[in-house]
């Protein structure tokens, strides 16, 4: 493989307008302002934050969040969890259930290496798998029972099932019952804000009922986790959550750009795709090397670089090997997107 | 990074149903049958074939195609061209114009290493860039003038512009005028077949006009390239094309699954995404770890593997680090998707 250093002679890397494209740029100053706003908001709302690595997949970003007060890192995939553990991050919460033999074997190895890991579950098979992995590593693993709060994907719908799983986790010598997860990913971008709050309120009553049933059973959870960039203010203000797991606030893609997050919460775009004008054969239009998009503009001759906002940060980040970290016109660093899918397997 | 070998102890890799997911499976027998059909069709139609690497991004697949008679490999990106050159492939045609300084610098290095490369152009700036790269490497580079045949992306619309670029390429000491490209990507999946043929016919008349003008100017092209999986039969039968550059026929995604390719041309699906059932908390429905897709099925408990057809092969392949090569129930090899975007830069 060619390494980026191979092209240093061309003088392209240190200058923002000269990066090889398509490239993913992150503006480090905007990123740091977004992190500072989230840290300040979480503190003001009285919740901890365990931001989601599915948004950034990058050790350097997770370490930056930890320095700003994050208590850990939420992860969707084994790649993300393994990458974060290698980067020295603790408080790893796997927010999607682990079911396959290879997932559980990789979890066993993570535990064996001393990683600080919890995973969500929504059925007994998940619990048994986690317990076997933990037993194989000679260490307990944390369990967070997931509620289905209307997303219709993973999670238990019935209160009784949640209590039963919590009880079983608490009773297992291989498991540590840590709490519950209630994440309404489908409500994050509902507009207007009042309607979003109303829909969240409906699910919040269900969470309240689950918490009452767990307390009743002597299983009051240490952790109640959930929330994304679109609802963390509402969720945290309920007093039900002990922590939040937003991710998109780091980058603020164009999907989030028009979402009202409430007074006092202002994040800014920090993520951009740089593309090159490859053809300008027709007047008033240029063709760039980023997907099949053509833009009504005459602002570039072939060879020029144009930067675009991203429409959905998570899958966009997954398409790139690294962030080009920019400050003004300069490329000041390069952060590998080390947990990009497939980098570790 | 964990290597796949790390998990060999779990016994998951040699068995199709045990691969870490999401995984991209290619059925080697179906792939080889598809390659054999294309080789046979091209021979019967009297055209050469230079299949497109944007579909597979994989040296092992390109080498297999070469053994079946391919005269080279078409590429969209510098990653693809560099990867194919490293894999010993010749006859590399870059089918999208090169414009940025970093692209031209990487082309210069490819030429310096002796790679056998041509690139399309649609304006004088492209020609000047290619000439400078070639001069820097002390070798000529091949030039193919691209026509815009209704896609509205890259390529020249006017006959005079095409002739002028061809003349300029032929006169340059650093360039070798090789021919023209006319690719109607927007027509590949038009149904019914008769309507696809009618729309191709309209553009074909324009190609005929360009060829007459070039001959008139003493610039008869050695190469007339184009065609995809959906139109190669029509295109080749016209007698205007010297070669075709299809790619999707290798895999036959579900978009192509319903496209009538005409009598005598039968490709079969060879590409599958393997996913794991992660949750089955609701009766009659399972949730898998492949995107946000849920399927109306009760055919798997958590931990089970399910395989899916792919909907569009090119961007799907780009999401994975390698093909798991399967034959029946066995995983018989692993082929890196070495030109996946960002692997080399």
Across A150-156, average pLDDT: 91
Q: Do A292 and B21 touch (CB under 8 A)?
A: no
Q: pLDDT-based confidence at A13, cuts 50/70/90?
A: low
Per-residue pLDDT, A303 = 84
**HEC string of chain B?**
CCCHHHHHHHCCCCEHHHCCCCEEEEEHHHHHHHHHHHHHHHHHHCCEECCECCCCCCHHHHHHHHHCCCCCEEECCHHHHHHHHHCCCCCEEECCCCCCHHHHHHHHHHHHCCCCEEEEECCHHHHHHHHHHHHHHCCCEEEEEEECCCCCCCCECCHHHHHHHHHHHHHCCCEEEEEEEECCHHHCCCCCHHHHHHHHHHHHHHHHHHHHHHHHCCCCCCEEEECCCCCHHHHHHCCCCCEECCCHHHCCCHHHHCCCCCCCCCCCCCEEEEEEEEECCCCCCEEECCCCCEECCCCCCCCCEEEEECCCHHHHHCCCCEEEEEECCEEEEEEECCCCCCCCC
In degrees, rounded to 5, the angle at the alpha carbon of residue B247 between the alpha carbons of residues B42 and B196 is 75
CB-closest option in A1, A20, A99 to B276: A99
Q: Do B281 and A154 touch (CB under 8 A)?
A: yes
Q: Are B94 and B75 spatial neighbours (Cβ–Cβ below 8 Å)?
A: yes
Residues 6+ apart with CB under 8 A from B339: B53, B57, B58, B75, B77, B79, B80, B82, B83, B84
**A113 or B284, higher pLDDT:** A113
Per-residue pLDDT, B4 = 38
The three-state secondary structure class of A188 is: coil
CB-closest option in B9, B82, B97 to A2: B82
Per-residue pLDDT, B186 = 94
| Mean pLDDT, all residues of chain B | 90
Which residues in A lie closer than 8 A to residue B277 (C-beta atoms)? 99
Smallest Cα distance from A37 to chain B, Å: 30
Q: Do A4 and B345 touch (CB under 8 A)?
A: yes
Per-residue pLDDT, A6 = 38
Question: 10 Å Cβ neighbour count for A276?
Answer: 26
Q: Do B305 and A100 touch (CB under 8 A)?
A: yes
Per-residue pLDDT, A18 = 87
Across B13-39, average pLDDT: 91
Q: Are A268 and A250 spatial neighbours (Cβ–Cβ below 8 Å)?
A: no
Per-residue pLDDT, A283 = 74
| Nearest Cα to Cα of residue A108 among B301, B303, B10 | B10
Alpha helices in A139-192 (DSSP H): 159-171
Search chain A and give the residue with CA nearest B316: A319
The string of pLDDT tens digits covering residues A32-85 is 999 999 999 999 999 999 999 999 999 999 999 999 999 999 999 999 999 999
Q: Do A287 and B153 touch (CB under 8 A)?
A: yes
The three-state secondary structure class of A141 is: strand
Per-residue pLDDT, B265 = 86
Q: Taking 80 as the threshold, does the pLDDT of residue A22 lie above it?
A: yes
Across A93-108, average pLDDT: 96
**pLDDT above 90: percentage of residues in chain A:** 71
Per-residue pLDDT, A343 = 67
Q: pLDDT-based confidence at A344, cuts 50/70/90?
A: low
| Nearest Cα to Cα of residue A163 among A208, A220, A205, A114 | A220
Residues 6+ apart with CB under 8 A from B238: B204
The string of pLDDT tens digits covering residues A268-315 is 999 998 888 888 877 777 888 876 433 334 456 788 888 888 888 888
Search chain A and give the residue with CA nearest B84: A1
Number of inter-chain CB pairs under 8 A, A vs B: 180
Per-residue pLDDT, B205 = 97
Search chain A and give the residue with CA nearest B76: A289
**B344 or A256, higher pLDDT:** A256
B107/B118 Cα distance (integer angstroms): 10
Least confident of A150-154, A253-257, B5-9, B311-315: B5-9
Q: Do B100 and A20 touch (CB under 8 A)?
A: yes
Among A278, A280, A291, A314, most B C-beta atoms within 10 A, so best to mutate, is A278
Q: Taking 50 as the threshold, does the pLDDT of residue B9 lie above it?
A: no
**B285 or B325, higher pLDDT:** B325
CB-closest option in B18, B157, B279 to A102: B18
**pLDDT above 90: percentage of residues in chain B:** 71
Q: Are A243 and A47 spatial neighbours (Cβ–Cβ below 8 Å)?
A: yes
Q: Taking 80 as the threshold, does the pLDDT of residue B176 lie above it?
A: yes
B22/B319 Cα distance (integer angstroms): 10
The string of pLDDT tens digits covering residues B127-136 is 999 999 999 9
Which residues in B lie closer than 8 A to residue A303 (C-beta atoms)? 99-101, 125, 129
Per-residue pLDDT, B227 = 97
Smallest Cα distance from A162 to chain B, Å: 11
Q: Are A202 and A244 spatial neighbours (Cβ–Cβ below 8 Å)?
A: no
Length reported for chain A: 345
Which residues in B lie closer than 8 A to residue A145 (C-beta atoms)? none
**Helix B124-137, helix B159-171: angle, nearest 10:** 20
Per-residue pLDDT, B258 = 87
Q: Any idea what DSSP says for residue A113?
A: T
Q: pLDDT-based confidence at B36, cuts 50/70/90?
A: very high
Locate A50 and state its tokens.
């365990």
| Nearest Cα to Cα of residue A94 among A78, A70, A111 | A78
| Mean pLDDT, all residues of chain A | 90
Locate A36 and state its tokens.
């500072």
| Nearest Cα to Cα of residue B114 among B88, B93, B152 | B88
Q: What is the ipTM of this complex?
A: 0.83
Give me the torsion for CA of B40, B44, B48, B49, rounded to 10°.
-40
Q: Taking 80 as the threshold, does the pLDDT of residue B264 lie above it?
A: no
Least confident of A285-289, B80-84, B98-102: A285-289
Peptide bond into A192 cis (omega under 30): yes
A59/A65 Cα distance (integer angstroms): 10
Per-residue pLDDT, A21 = 87
Which residues in B lie closer than 8 A to residue A1 (C-beta atoms)? 338, 343-344
Q: pLDDT-based confidence at A88, cuts 50/70/90?
A: very high
Per-residue pLDDT, B140 = 97
Which residues in B lie closer than 8 A to residue A322 (C-beta atoms)? 342
**A14 or B279, higher pLDDT:** B279
Q: What is the pTM of this model?
A: 0.88
Across A83-91, average pLDDT: 96
Radius of gyration of chain B from its Cα atoms, rounded to whole angstroms: 22
Locate B78 and state its tokens.
């510098």
**What are the φ/ψ torsions at residue B145 (nearest 5 degrees)?**
-85, 125
Beta strand B286-288 pairing with B223-226: unpaired
The DSSP-derived string for A231-291 is THHHHHHTS--SEE---GGGT--HHHHT----TT------EEEEEEEEE--STT-EEESST
Across A257-263, average pLDDT: 88
Smallest Cα distance from B329 to chain A, Å: 17
Which residues in B lie closer than 8 A to residue A78 (C-beta atoms)? 20
Per-residue pLDDT, B147 = 98
Q: Do A341 and B322 touch (CB under 8 A)?
A: no
Radius of gyration of chain A from its Cα atoms, rounded to whole angstroms: 22
Indicate if the alpha-carbon torsion angle A145, A149, A153, A157 is positive or negative. Answer: positive
């Amino acid at each position: 493989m060619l390494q980026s250093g191979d092209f240093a002679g061309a003088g392209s890397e240190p200058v923002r307008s000269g990066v090889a494209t398509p490239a993913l740029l992150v503006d480090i100053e905007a990123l740091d302002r977004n992190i500072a706003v989230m840290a300040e908001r979480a503190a003001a709302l009285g919740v901890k934050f365990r931001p989601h690595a599915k948004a950034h997949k990058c050790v350097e970003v997770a370490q930056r969040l930890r320095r700003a007060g994050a208590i850990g890192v939420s992860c969707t995939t084994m790649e993300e969890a393994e990458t974060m553990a290698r980067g020295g991050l603790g408080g790893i919460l796997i927010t999607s259930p682990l079911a396959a033999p290879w997932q559980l074997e990789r979890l066993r190895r993570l535990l064996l290496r001393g990683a600080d890991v919890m995973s969500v579950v929504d059925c007994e098979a998940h619990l048994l798998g986690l317990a076997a992995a933990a037993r194989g590593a000679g260490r307990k693993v944390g369990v967070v029972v997931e509620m289905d709060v209307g997303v219709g994907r993973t999670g238990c719908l019935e209160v009784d099932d949640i209590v039963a799983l919590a009880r079983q986790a608490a009773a297992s010598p291989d498991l540590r019952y840590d709490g519950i997860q209630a994440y309404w990913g489908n409500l994050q971008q509902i507009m207007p804000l009042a309607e979003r709050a109303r829909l969240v309120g409906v699910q919040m009553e269900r969470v309240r009922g689950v918490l009452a049933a767990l307390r009743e059973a002597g299983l009051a959870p240490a952790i109640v986790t959930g929330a994304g960039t679109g609802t963390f203010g509402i969720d945290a203000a309920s007093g039900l959550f002990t922590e939040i797991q937003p991710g998109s606030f780091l980058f603020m893609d164009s999907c989030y750009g028009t979402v009202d997050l409430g007074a006092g919460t202002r994040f800014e775009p920090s993520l951009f795709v740089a593309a090159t004008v490859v053809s300008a054969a027709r007047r008033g239009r240029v063709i760039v090397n980023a997907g099949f998009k053509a833009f009504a503009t005459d602002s570039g001759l072939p060879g020029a670089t144009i930067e675009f906002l991203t429409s959905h940060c998570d899958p966009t980040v997954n398409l790139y090997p690294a962030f080009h970290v920019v400050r003004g016109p300069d490329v000041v660093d390069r952060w590998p997107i080390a947990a990009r899918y497939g980098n570790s397997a």
